[in-house]
Amino acid sequence: MAKAKTAFVCTDCGAEHGQWQGQCAACKAWNTLSQINLGAPGASPAAKADFRRQGYAGEKSPVQNLSDIDLEALPRFSSTIGELDRVLGGGLVPGSVILIGGNPGAGKSTLLLQIMCLLAATGKPALYVTGEESLQQVGMRAKRLNLPAGELKMLAETNVELITQAAQDNKPELLVVDSIQVMHSSDVASAPGSVSQVRECAAYLIQYAKQTNTVLFLVGHVTKEGNLAGPKVLEHMIDCFIMLEGGSDTKYRILRGQKNRFGAVNELGVFGMTETGLKEVKNPSAIFLARTEEDTPGSLVMVLWEGTRPLLVEIQALVDASPLGNPRRVAVGLEQNRLAMLLAVLHRHGGLYMADQDVFVNVVGGVKVTETSADLALLLAIVSSFRDRALPKELVVFGEVGLAGEIRPVPGGQERLREAAKHGFTRAIVPKANVPKGKIEGLEVVPVTKISQALDAIA
């Protein structure tokens, strides 16, 4: 009997090694190699052999000039949910593979069940494969959400060979596999959820989707750190990776694109969790601006740029005398190292000493800020709390702060200002280079070039 082959695979980058070693030679990560069983040489399941014999392993593609490729061959179509279409770059692309991750209870299965039922009701053949729940459980959810479930095909299965065989028989245009971590292949001698199983099952399903122009949704689990579970190579194999953020403490869910071969990265979609499922929020700025009636020191509204649209978000700061020798710097929704850097800039170029103060900052609504346009708003909110002086509610701020104390421009300045004016803001402190050429009705724009000028503007 042939001896089973083994290999050591890096769980971060997916690189294979012939023997175990402490550091991955490809990505230089430590202690990330895990042993996998590649199966006996020549072993091949009957279902996989049938799948390949029927032509889905791929015929030879002709070589073409780039200019001769027909770009209209695969038109997008809507998922019936506008916020999801926005995150995906304009809709679903035939043959694309979309990986959706999120914490347990975030609403991944609910969102996909809504999409599949609505598309199936419009005449799109759809197949929903559940490996974690029974068909009765999914049916109860669909009934509770009042979804049109008459046309959606269902399958409870975890074997990828049987799943592709069922897809081959039913020829769906959309296929959901919930979830990739519970799938297994007969050709891999390891437990479901292992590095080798996740990689091989995903590769097998992706191969089917690409060669039949089927839209494939894969549901992925996340670790306790909030990262996608399984090998890092899984994120490289798929076309689009989106995360559904939010938990039981809030009714809002944020769908964020982290990789997209067909659209913008870091696009944002906002949903509200209701008794009838996830409902899209058409004006997300409104939900993040539910401020208190009283003027509160340390509270300020900034304008972020998320994907292709501006987003108004409230930022809060609390500065208090510290009883500790090493004062605390806590940032929720912002990068903590950037907070420490901006406090040093404020001391050096603004003349405000906070080395003996605890500083806490928070972005309201659970939004995670990844761009630098929040710098100026963050500093002014800190100064407002430090001086115990509330800023006007009709004030909006954005701009990047450099180490020399200069205020740098940010992309989309005019669109940000128009969004602020649309929500009733009457005054804006912005970088001088972002001042629009034409006047925006109802909005006074205050240009600044240095941090000292911004401090004078709120004095």
Asked if the structure places residue 55 within a domain, the reply is no
Q: What is the pLDDT of residue 4?
A: 54
Domain containing 32 equals 5-39
Pair (413, 395) in one structural domain: yes
Pair (401, 420) in one structural domain: yes
Alpha-carbon gap, residue 125 to 140, rounded angstroms: 21
Pair (201, 268) in one structural domain: yes
User: Which residues of the chain fall below pLDDT 70?
Assistant: 1-5, 36-61, 73-74, 247-249, 290-293
Q: What is the pLDDT of residue 5?
A: 64
The domain boundary residue, chosen from 282, 312, 328: 282
- CATH number, domain at 420? 3.30.230.10
DSSP string, 337-385: HHHHHHHHHHHHHH----TTEEEEEEETTSPPP-SGGGHHHHHHHHHHH
pLDDT digits (tens, 9 = 90+) for 16-40: 888 888 888 888 888 888 776 654 4
According to DSSP, the β-strands at 97-102 and 240-245 are parallel
Asked if the structure places residue 339 within a domain, the reply is yes
Pair (34, 139) in one structural domain: no
Pair (190, 118) in one structural domain: yes
Q: What is the pLDDT of residue 259?
A: 92
Q: What is the pLDDT of residue 194?
A: 84
Q: Report pTM.
A: 0.76
Cβ-Cβ contacts under 8 Å for 291 (sequence gap 6 or more): 299, 301, 314, 393
Q: What is the pLDDT of residue 41?
A: 42
Pair (384, 333) in one structural domain: yes
Question: Which residue from 336, 335, 332 is spatially nearest to 314, judged by alpha carbons?
Answer: 332
Alpha-carbon gap, residue 126 to 174, rounded angstroms: 5
The domain boundary residue, chosen from 282, 308, 327: 282
pLDDT digits (tens, 9 = 90+) for 344-376: 999 999 999 999 999 999 998 778 898 899 999
Pair (91, 223) in one structural domain: yes
Mapped onto helix, strand or coil, the DSSP state of residue 58 is coil
Q: What is the pLDDT of residue 44?
A: 43
Alpha-carbon gap, residue 73 to 77, rounded angstroms: 12
Asked if the structure places residue 395 within a domain, the reply is yes
Asked if the structure places residue 332 within a domain, the reply is yes
Residue 138 tokens read as: 């999914």
Question: Which residue from 439, 411, 389, 282 is spatially nearest to 428, judged by alpha carbons?
Answer: 439
Asked if the structure places residue 133 within a domain, the reply is yes
The total of structural domains in the chain comes to: 3
Asked if the structure places residue 384 within a domain, the reply is yes
The domain boundary residue, chosen from 245, 261, 282: 282
Would you say 404 and 349 are in contact if contact means Cβ atoms under 8 Å apart? yes
Cβ-Cβ contacts under 8 Å for 379 (sequence gap 6 or more): 342, 345, 346, 350, 401, 451, 454
Pair (292, 264) in one structural domain: no
Pair (215, 360) in one structural domain: no
Residue ranges of alpha helices (H) inside 158-288 are: 160-170, 195-212, 233-237, 284-288
Asked if the structure places residue 33 within a domain, the reply is yes
* Cβ atoms within 10 Å, residue 42: 6
Pair (277, 301) in one structural domain: no
Alpha-carbon gap, residue 66 to 58, rounded angstroms: 21
Pair (145, 202) in one structural domain: yes
Asked if the structure places residue 265 within a domain, the reply is yes
Q: What is the pLDDT of residue 51?
A: 47
Helix axes 108-121, 135-144, angle to 10 degrees: 80
Pair (303, 244) in one structural domain: no
- CATH number, domain at 257? 3.40.50.300
